[in-house]
Amino acid sequence: MKNKPIDEILLAPEIEPERYELLAGPAYHFQVARRDFFKGLGGGVLILFAVKEARAQQESGGGRRGGGRTAPQEISAWLHIGEDGVTTVYTGKVEVGQDIRTSLAQVVAEELRVSITTIRMVMGDTDLTPYDAGTFGSLTTPTMSPRLRKAAAAARESLLDLAAEQTKADRKSLLIADGKVTNPATKQSLTFSQLTKGQRLTRAIADDIALTPPDEWKIAGKPLTKLNGRDIVTGKHQYTSDLKLPGMLYGKVVRPAAFGATPSAIDTKAAEKMTGVTVVRDGDFIGVTAPTPTLAKRAMEAINVEWKTAQQPSSSEIFAHLKKTAAASDGRSATKRGSMTEGLAAAQQKLEQSYNIAYIAHAPLEPRAAVAEWKDGKLTVWTGTQRPFGVRSELASAFRIPEEKVRVIMPDTGSGYGGKHTGETAIEAARLAKAAGKPVKLVWTREEEFTWAYFRPAGVIDIKSGVSSDGKITAWAFHNYNSGSAGIRPVYDIPNQAIEFHSTDSPLRQGSYRALASTANHFAREVHLDELAASVKIDPLEFRLKNLKDQRLQAVLEAVTRRIEWEKRKPVAGRGFGIAGGFEKGGYVANCVEVAVDRTSGKVTILRIVTAFECGAIINPDGLKNQVEGSIIQGIGGALFEAIEFENGKILNPRFSRYRVPRFSDVPPLETILLDRKDLPSAGSGECPIVALAPAISNAIFAASGVRLRSLPMIPNGLKA
Amino acid sequence: MKIVELQVNGNKHRVEVDDEQSLLSVLRDDLDLTGTKYGCGEGQCGACTVLLDGQPTRSCRMPAVNVGSKPITTIEDLEQNGRLHPLQQAFLDHGAMQCGYCISGMLMSGAGLLKKNPQPTEAEILRAMEGNICRCGTYPRIVAAIKQAASGRVAQKGGGK
């Protein structure tokens, strides 16, 4: 696939190379027309939040086509306080289970001094919400949350201005609470509706408005469970795959026999004879629509295609293949400091090791789904994507129509973990709907999701290092082949470093996965640190602290080791503790894990996982704990047993019966320590807490058994060494 | 195609079904009961769990023509007269969800367990729930919620585990 220039695509100034899915060309080449954002808003107060990111905001979501956007370019968020006292918040961010619907509502309610029940969140609808590059990179909490806080604070100040004007009271004496402004002296109180008198007051605000400091928070900073939880437990929430439009048909796509296969002969006669079935062929795209899903499946299966395939590398040879096809460093993610030669010369012990990381799948429980409808020359697609504006661009590009003729709506979706950045399902559903002349729903099967989505990149990491006799790391050469550059730089204080990321020729489609390559890079680094510590016979915790100046990482390491009383731990045969620490996306994490290893059976049991996490001021302690626990549990899979097996362009284990994910019995007792730094800005938490788990488990297995595990997954078939 | 009469949530439905159509598809596509989810189609993830004659059953593997007259209960019927089932309330109290897609199946498996065994041990809970996947990793909260519903106590709001 042809790559596009990076700066066409995203607003982030530095986009990690492993977000391959954002750089790829469109899924299909098919052979192939002014929204008013504020229409329909009644009276009240409208606050527009402007940021000084003019260049970034001019980028369109996927970058393939420009123009067509009519929202003020500099506006990244807004909110409207209606005369009914309901505050509607508009953000292009989306909800995939990380529960920003709740945490964003909390910060708005906090600044507005209203009950959280009066907040309505409108998210991820390209016709209703301001442009947003996407919900990834743990950016909602550090970027969108302060913008909405500022918008809400501006709204509050505007209402106070109005009240002071109307009551001729001293502005400073007025109180705002529960949707009213009150003058305590006269007991006079005015609702928002009385203040705005049916007029719409529009205020654009800049970035410098003062915010309520976290140590004064009353609504934010408190534990809160999911705002729309009742819709979830009653089954009422409609995910994309649950939607049904009048006259809607069901779609299926004929999938190639292997990756990269192209059709050499296509026979669609049998399918075309089926009543109600439409067969759609366009370039290499072959799909069907039918009035029922069963018939759609039958029609798809009735299409015979001969596929031209090409020989491709298999999982058994993947690591050699990645090394063999590696390019020189991409430069952007290379770091050179000091001199490796001098660093190694100063070392008492030198160590060279290689670490392998398998491809794994996100396997979101809701597979990719889209419902597409063409109406009056406009395309509307409901789809579960982390980048609704990016998918809008993909659709505009695929159908060669202007972006204002495309609307993408993202219902709260059955998870993503970085795996739902692209719009392939939306494009397929739209192509089918265009041909059928009716709305079409397309829901990928589990097997399609396991095969045609993108994977977390596999990788090889080579480390060459040196350590002095007093336990200072003197040299650190770190080469990552393919998995990516996120988290590639150590937080440790090492005078001589040579760090490089090498792209390779990946046989599988690969892309973003929770924390990106930070998981792989932390695995290699934190296991290697343990090996270095052992080589100079220094305790792993002491070794880390000796080489560490970063106080935030020190704090989480100390929190987990204090909890398990690290210094007092006693050697028990077949049992051991391991630690690891990490830094990613503004957060700091440390894990301490205890395992039991039965060398006869090869069974490894995790007995206990202690996690300490710190991401600045905590907005929702319960939501944060949920994210940390979820990262740890998901991390168990990648650490111990998840791996995609493939052979010659085919996935061999595209089912939950053959691809093992963590289940209830895999979860040991979890102890989660949250460090609340009210003096620091809030960072996101969806990614960082996954990065230190695998190395902590590996280090614990070493402590328990003397066996070093340097490949992820570590024990797909138990401990055999 | 065959006409079958299904008893769903206390109502009789006459539906024309395809021989190979799953109960899941009939519930979702014909009866618009979309609370029951598709997750894998091979009975491995539990998202499609319904109660068939009180027994947690993977509706994706159950041909609709084989259901017969056994009563079917879906997530839509767990709430009665506007009152949540204690297990639904317990899931809310414990924040036992992230994306929520697995939750209908979790609730039906959990409700089926509690019906048969009102006071399950932790080991019994794990055994009964092992076939349900939550990719977001809310398992400990779900276990805590089932324990709460079993004990009949009321948890602190928003307390997590």
Q: What CATH number corresponds to the domain at position A291?
A: 3.30.365.10
B96 plus B71 within the same structural domain: no
Cα–Cα distance for residue pair A54/A400, rounded to 1 Å:
26
B71 plus B8 within the same structural domain: yes
Confidence label for A32 from pLDDT (cuts 50, 70 and 90): very low
Whether residues B160 and A626 touch (CB distance < 8 A) is answered with yes
Higher-confidence residue of A30 and B66: namely: B66
A91 plus A211 within the same structural domain: yes
On whether residue B161 sits in a domain, the answer given is no
- From chain B residues 22-61, the ones with a CB under 8 A of any chain A CB are 25, 28-29, 32-42, 44-45, 47
Mean pLDDT of A470-499: 97
B7: domain CATH number? 3.10.20.30
Q: Which of B53, B77, B101 is the last residue of a domain?
A: B77
Q: How far is B98 from chain A (nearest CA, A)?
A: 4
Whether residues A412 and B95 touch (CB distance < 8 A) is answered with no
Provide the number of structural domains found in chain B: 2
Cα–Cα distance for residue pair A201/A196, rounded to 1 Å:
7
pLDDT at A328: 78
Q: How far is CA B148 from CA A110, A621, B86, B129, B154, in A?
A: 31, 21, 9, 15, 7
Mean pLDDT of A228-242: 98
Domain, as residue range, for B96: 86-151
Confidence label for A109 from pLDDT (cuts 50, 70 and 90): very high
Confidence label for A651 from pLDDT (cuts 50, 70 and 90): very high
Cα–Cα distance for residue pair B78/B9, rounded to 1 Å:
9
Range from A40-54, A94-108, A552-566, B25-39 carrying the lowest mean pLDDT: A40-54
Whether residues B104 and A235 touch (CB distance < 8 A) is answered with yes
Confidence label for A74 from pLDDT (cuts 50, 70 and 90): low
Report which of A414, A656, A659, A627 is spatially closest to residue B103, judged by C-alpha positions. Answer: A414
Range from A94-103, A112-121, A712-721, B101-110 carrying the lowest mean pLDDT: A712-721
Higher-confidence residue of A331 and A481: namely: A481
pLDDT at A47: 83
pLDDT at A520: 98
Mean pLDDT of A434-453: 98
Cα–Cα distance for residue pair A76/A141, rounded to 1 Å:
14
Residue B74 at interface with chain A, using a CB cutoff of 8 Å: yes
Range from A142-151, A438-447, A671-680, B25-34 carrying the lowest mean pLDDT: A142-151
A517 plus A582 within the same structural domain: yes
On whether residue B141 sits in a domain, the answer given is yes
A609 plus A464 within the same structural domain: yes
A351 plus A376 within the same structural domain: no
pLDDT at A388: 97
The answer, yes or no, to whether residue A70 has pLDDT greater than 90, is no
| CB-based contact A582:A554 (threshold 8 Å) | no
Residue B160 at interface with chain A, using a CB cutoff of 8 Å: yes
Could you please report the per-residue DSSP string of A414-475? Answer: S--TT-----HHHHHHHHHHHHHTS-EEEE--HHHHHHHS-BBPPEEEEEEEEE-TTS-EEE
The answer, yes or no, to whether residue A13 has pLDDT greater than 50, is no
Domain, as residue range, for A214: 34-233
Nearest 5°: the CA angle A655, A250, A432 is 105
Does the model's ipTM exceed the 0.85 cut? yes
Q: Which of B48, B77, B106 is the last residue of a domain?
A: B77
Provide the number of structural domains found in chain A: 3
Whether residues A234 and B102 touch (CB distance < 8 A) is answered with no
The single residue listed with the structure tokens 């069974």 is A603
Residues 6+ apart with CB under 8 A from A211: A111, A146, A149, A150, A153
Whether residues A622 and B76 touch (CB distance < 8 A) is answered with no
Mean pLDDT of A403-412: 97
| CB-based contact A611:A628 (threshold 8 Å) | yes
Task: Give per-residue pLDDT as tens, B84-93.
Answer: 999 999 999 9
Residue B140 at interface with chain A, using a CB cutoff of 8 Å: yes
Task: Give per-residue pLDDT as tens, A186-216.
Answer: 999 998 888 888 888 888 886 778 899 999 9
Confidence label for A69 from pLDDT (cuts 50, 70 and 90): very low
Confidence label for A60 from pLDDT (cuts 50, 70 and 90): very low
